[in-house]
Amino acid sequence: SGKKYEKKLSNGDQVALVKLTYICKDFHGTLHTDNEESLQLKFFPLDNLPELWQNQQEVFDDLLKFMKIKN
């Protein structure tokens, strides 16, 4: 969170975005969407992520730095 994640949308709404990252090392089951906002859910390896928006890329860059420090 922070000033760089505060946005004003085209309809005038103001939002404060919060980015969360979860690390999953062992998943069993099936991913399911439960509302009309999510079209698809999928896991990706960190070294083969799809194209991301800049602010999303920053979150993953921070995660990769954290993981290198931790290991």
DSSP bridge pairs for 7: 15
Q: Given this model, what pLDDT does residue 28 score?
A: 92
Q: Taking the complete model, does pTM exceed 0.85, yes or no?
A: no
Nearest of 62, 41, 54 to residue 7 by alpha carbon = 54
Q: Given this model, what pLDDT does residue 29 score?
A: 93
Please report where in the chains the tokens 């404060």 appear, as a residue: 16
Q: Given this model, what pLDDT does residue 59 score?
A: 85
- pLDDT in single tens digits along all 71 residues of the chain: 678 778 899 999 999 888 777 778 888 999 888 888 888 888 888 888 899 888 788 888 888 898 887 66
What mean pLDDT is reported for the chain?
Answer: 85
Q: Look at phi and psi of residue 2 and say left if phi exceeds 0, alpha if psi is from -120 to 50, else beta.
A: left
Nearest of 60, 28, 20 to residue 44 by alpha carbon = 60
